[in-house]
Amino acid sequence: MLQAWRRYIKNKFVVAVIALVFAIALSAIISLFKAVETHSLLEQESLTPAFGLLSQEILKPLYIAETIARSSSIKTQMNSSDIDQEAIQKKLSEISQEFDMEFFVASELNRTQYNSDGSTLSLELDRVEWYFNAKNNDLEIVGMLGKRDDIRIYFDVKIYNAEGTFLGFVGVNRKLTSFMEAFDNFKKQFGYDFIFVDHNNNIVLSSDDRFNADGKRIMRLEQLAWYSAFSAQQKNNSQLKNYLVEVENEDVLIAQANLDSLNWKMFLVNPLKTRQAAATEKFIAQTIIVTIAIFTGILIVYLVIRSLQGEFARRHQNDPLTQLPNRAQLFWQYDKVAKKGKNNSIIIVDIDHFKSVNDTYGHSAGDFVLCEVAKILQQQLRDNDVVARWGGEEFVILLPAANKTITQLIAERTRAAIAKHIFEVDKKVIKITASFGNCTDNQKSSLNLIIAQADEALYKAKNGGRNKVCSANQPIHSIPAKIWPTVSAK
């Protein structure tokens, strides 16, 4: 018994291990198929929010400056050597209040910068480097850092008159610190940094404040550890690209985008440690789900197979000797009949003195008698009646929709057929009779209860001299003296 249990547990354990390994393998395959999709989504997740912030914090001021530069009133003022300072600064002040930014106009004709706060600045070569650097720049829009004591980012848009003569700049500037709050919120939400560099690889703006200019120095792109890990080809690539580099034993995804209007580059620095941990958690969760699904599927299949096996056995399992239905099929047949209606009857048939047949003529003769009686019982029944071998020399007949009169008639007819039949074994005739006990139920009682009542009637028939038919006298709802055990199909 102990060994059987060990084998059972071992088999179950092996099945569980195989299912678990299969679940892990399936999860790995699913993850592999999703790798390209995940990578694409990762790139999209890296760039899409950053472009939203780029549009809000950098491109918006730039577009506003471009719009002002196209204004005919501004061009008219700057095309004159006698600029109406009050009018132009009033216009700049209105725009500044509307957009909450600082604007300026730098005139080429009188070399003066007019600011939206009402101040002016003389554009002298030895004092104001930005103007002359920007003027000589081939770009129509120039972005640069200014004011060492209060670092700002300037976007300068060149203005020309109708003849194409350079008139100066319309510009907008923002304090470097004004970007940091938006950058911090962005980093908390998406978990990565971004860096803007100009055409000289000077870091103009970064979400990591360590890399921003502080009035004493301007950091260069080459000073960053992850940029040093780039190959020469990657450093020279001007197209939108994503690179995976290793920095201090950690994988970092670098996404590069170009801002052509400013001749800047934007780099998104995305440490993958958090995302890899999330991917691992997702893989584990996926494995658990797949494992549960597999075990659930196995359990469902197992239960269905067991149910079908039981159903098949109840329907088709027969007694090997007489080929009559066995107990399990009889119970299944009765369940079907009981659902349809009342007045179902049971007859128990017991071959008289069967033991003496075995003792006198041998067991082969006894088997012959059992088979012959089985044939007689089948011949005497209606089409929808069922006869089953109950065990030993006993048979049980199920009569659907049969009242007491019909039951008694069939039982008596069958008893007489057995008594008249000639049982010949080895040219010897054996006299065989049988006793019958029957019970009719009109309350859809259980089969065990009806058989118990019929068994009491059979007991009376045997005590009354055998070769008799007796009916149950007790109401069917009474508690029987004997309950037959339900036999399940194996």
- Summarize pLDDT for 267-308 with one digit per residue, the tens: 878 776 655 555 566 666 666 776 777 767 777 877 777 776
Domain for residue 260, yes or no?
Answer: yes
φ/ψ of residue 28, rounded to 5: -65, -40
φ/ψ of residue 101, rounded to 5: -140, 165
Domain for residue 250, yes or no?
Answer: yes
Same domain, 19 and 100: yes
**Based on the structure, what is the number of domains in the chain?**
2
For residue 120, list its beta bridge partners. Answer: 114
> Domain residues for 369?
317-471
Same domain, 294 and 414: no
Q: What is the structure's pLDDT at 489?
A: 35
Q: Which of the listed residues 280, 313, 346 is the one where a domain comes to its end?
A: 313
Same domain, 441 and 341: yes
Same domain, 450 and 353: yes
Q: Which of the listed residues 313, 342, 370 is the one where a domain comes to its end?
A: 313
Q: What is the structure's pLDDT at 316?
A: 62
Lowest mean pLDDT among 59-68, 151-160, 177-186, 222-231: 177-186
Same domain, 30 and 146: yes
Domain for residue 2, yes or no?
Answer: no
Are 140 and 164 in contact by the 8 Å Cβ rule? The answer is: no
Q: Which of the listed residues 288, 313, 338 is the one where a domain comes to its end?
A: 313
Same domain, 410 and 307: no
Same domain, 299 and 421: no
CATH of the domain at 106: 3.30.450.20
Same domain, 374 and 281: no
- Summarize pLDDT for 54-95 with one digit per residue, the tens: 666 777 777 888 888 888 888 888 888 788 888 888 888 988
486: pLDDT strictly greater than 50:
no
CATH of the domain at 348: 3.30.70.270
Domain for residue 476, yes or no?
Answer: no
Neighbour tally for 381: CB within 10 Å = 18
Are 113 and 120 in contact by the 8 Å Cβ rule? The answer is: yes
Domain for residue 204, yes or no?
Answer: yes
- Token code pair at residue 274: 């958090």
Same domain, 350 and 238: no
Domain for residue 56, yes or no?
Answer: yes
Domain for residue 414, yes or no?
Answer: yes
Same domain, 305 and 373: no
Same domain, 235 and 217: yes
φ/ψ of residue 322, rounded to 5: -90, -10
pTM of the full structure: 0.44
Same domain, 159 and 263: yes
Domain for residue 368, yes or no?
Answer: yes
Using CA atoms, how far apart are residues 258 and 237, in angstroms rounded to an integer?
Answer: 10
- Residue 417's pLDDT band (cuts 50, 70, 90): very high
Are 397 and 349 in contact by the 8 Å Cβ rule? The answer is: yes
